[in-house]
Amino acid sequence: MSKEKYNNKILNEYLLGLLPEDKAEEFDELSVTDDDFAGDLESAENDLIDAYLKKDLSESELARFQAYYLASPLRREKVEFAKSLQTVAGKHFEEINRPVEKQSWADFFASFGLSLRLAGAAFALLFVALIGWILLQNFNKQPEQVQNDPTPTPTQIQTPQNINSPTVSPTLTPTSTPTNSTVNQPTPTPKVEPTEKVTPTSPILATFILPLPRRDGGNLTTINIPAKTTDVAFTLPLESDDFKTYQITLKTQTGKIIRQSSKLNSQKGSLNIKIPAKLLQSTVYIFSVNGISETGESENVGDYSFRSVIQ
């Protein structure tokens, strides 16, 4: 689809449920079959959520957002996730931009002067201790012997030569080297508690390809739809692609119409349609496909029956 046919305003109207039903159905189909459109739609949805959180929506847009958009549990989860991201980013920004207290010159010189005084006091104590140690060493020294002292020195005393006395040898006491009895124990590594991660939720799409209709009835195709599925996409192969456009009608076995598509173009010999999962129940449904000629005449080209089972 050309971007000239839609803009952000139209996409916002689609997200707020303000488009006509045929236009909304066309956008439903494009969100599955057109990657460019799906990307633009996702970007517009993110901008709409940001505007809601920043309170930039008008009164009418705010009322429609709260009444229609937030009616979906999945979309409420998107808004809550965006709000949590915005809160975390705001705290990080405050921490980065927090002003740093600067130390004044007066505080610097005051702390420097205190350091000098402490160093001077330590030097004075060291000097006094050194003087005391020198005086103590001089006090412990023995006075020198006078040369005329009659008291013989130990070297002047003569011992008898012929005294049988055992020679006593000095005993050497082995010195024991202190051993370090403390065993270095490995420092335990602190456990880091894992932080909880917030995982964003996204729509769950279930895709199925239905076989060509069998003329003899055949076995009924059964599709299993997971409980949390939000949308179901179907691919219907065409036996022959003879018409310019097609229209698909979803009906029950009793003929009650559940949903009808706008005019669709075939994609490589098949048709694609997306149905909200909430419209389907555990029962039998029929896709009735009609081909529309250039003159506008409608002709049935096949009925695709299937059984839906909600798990």
Angle, helices 73-96 vs 35-53, to 10°: value is: 60
The 3 state secondary structure assigned to 132-181 is HHHHHHHHHCCCCCCCCCCCCCCCCCCCCCCCCCCCCCCCCCCCCCCCCC
For residues 291 and 242, is the Cβ–Cβ distance under 8 A? Answer: yes
Residues 252-259: what's their mean pLDDT?
Answer: 93
Q: Three-state SS for 271?
A: strand
The verdict on pTM exceeding 0.75 is no
For residues 36 and 275, is the Cβ–Cβ distance under 8 A? Answer: no
Tokens of 210: 């239905």
User: What integer pLDDT is reported at residue 159 of this predicted model?
Assistant: 40
The residue with tokens 């809550």 is 80
Question: Which residues does residue 284 pair with via DSSP β-bridges, in sequence order?
Answer: 307
Residues in the chain: 311
User: What integer pLDDT is reported at residue 167 of this predicted model?
Assistant: 41
**Rounded distance, CA 255 to CA 134, Å?**
119
Span 69-91, pLDDT tens digits: 999 998 999 999 988 887 876 66
Tokens of 128: 């006094």
